[in-house]
Amino acid sequence: EDMLPIACQMFAEGKTVAVEHAEPVYLRNNVAWKKLPGKE
């Protein structure tokens, strides 16, 4: 529910992505690999 106002505003401004171009972003995976030994 915290993201709903942001999503509504972006939708109203036409800042949308077609479903066939949508890609998930897994922030946890991007942060976790940096914590592994030898990774930056």
23 assigned to some structural domain: yes
The number of distinct structural domains making up the chain is 1
Instruction: Please give the model's pTM, rounded to 2 decimal places.
Output: 0.47
In tens, the pLDDT along 4-18 reads 999 999 999 999 999
pLDDT of residue 26: 73
31 assigned to some structural domain: yes
How far is residue 7's CA from residue 1's CA, in Å, rounded to a whole number? Answer: 10
Domain extent at residue 9: 4-35
29 assigned to some structural domain: yes
40 assigned to some structural domain: no
24 assigned to some structural domain: yes
What average pLDDT score do residues 15-40 get?
Answer: 75
The per-residue pLDDT of the chain, averaged, comes to 81
What average pLDDT score do residues 18-33 get?
Answer: 77
